[in-house]
Amino acid sequence: MQAIKLYNFPRSGHAHRVELMLSLLQLPTELIFVDLAKGEHKQPEYLAINSFGQVPAIDDNGVVLADSNAILVYLAQKYGNGRWLPSDPVGAARVQRWLSAAAGPIAFGPAAARLVTVFGAKLNADEAITRAHNLLKVMDLELGKTPFLVGNEPTVADVSAYSYIAHAPEGNVSLDDYANVRAWLARIEALPGFVAMPRTVAGLQATA
């Protein structure tokens, strides 16, 4: 099949979600670097691909889609053979819960804390770190019951949550108190086709 074009920025957790999903599905991928530092995501050429001016976006043989979670759902439905996205009402709702968490508590917690240290964002780091720990407490409790977020098998919920949780220490968010979360990260990293997001020497990673 023709390679799927992924417009990405390597240190973006949103872009990494999609890169990870493509790799787990063993889909041929052409990575197209979008230089956020130079503002390429705000240029007319890229805005024609994603009008919000954000990474990631994909072009799957003419099907152009933006928003990382939307792309995950698309890839799972088209190429996942029913494995990554439950079709039953309860399973689908449980996945949606975590996709909403990825766009909410994860984005405003560990992702925001990392934005401060890695990209110099003018955000309240203490508030972001507090939100991150509140989220991690919930995740750790739930992952004490099942190996993955929605049960015994990995889904797009896990792919959506992984990147910013794994890189939370870069935003000064320690994972030391969350054994179940750390075990979950290890289970994802052991999946065939797993691909890592580059580590940044920032936050707790700078002293690790």
The model's pLDDT over 22-64, given as tens digits with 9 standing for 90+, comes to 999 999 999 999 887 788 888 888 998 888 988 999 999 999 9
Amino acid, single-letter form, for residue 101: A
Where in the sequence is the domain holding 55, given as residue range(s)? 4-79
Pairing of strands 4-8, 57-60: antiparallel
- Asked if residue 98 and residue 194 are part of one domain, the reply reads yes
Fill in the DSSP letter of residue 204. Answer: G
- Residues whose CB is less than 8 angstroms from the CB of residue 131 and which lie 6 or more positions away in sequence, other chains included: 105, 108, 109, 112
151 alpha carbon, distance to own chain's centre: 19
The answer on 109 and 154 residing in a single domain is: yes
Whether the predicted pLDDT of 191 surpasses 90: yes
Q: Looking at residue 124, what is its pLDDT?
A: 86
- 171 and 68 in a single domain? The answer is no
Backbone dihedral angles phi then psi of residue 158, each to the nearest 5 degrees:
-70, -40
> What does the pLDDT read at residue 208?
52
Q: Please check whether residues 165 and 94 belong to one and the same domain.
A: yes
Sheet holding 4-8, edge to edge: 29-33, 4-8, 57-60, 63-66
Backbone angles phi, psi at 178, to 5 degrees: -125, 75
Per the prediction, the chain carries an average pLDDT of: 92
Measure the CA dihedral 66/156/169/187, to 10°.
-150
| Bridge partner residues of 64 (DSSP) | 59
Q: Give the pLDDT confidence score for residue 206 in this predicted structure.
A: 64
Mean pLDDT of 148-158: 97
Same domain, 14 and 115: no
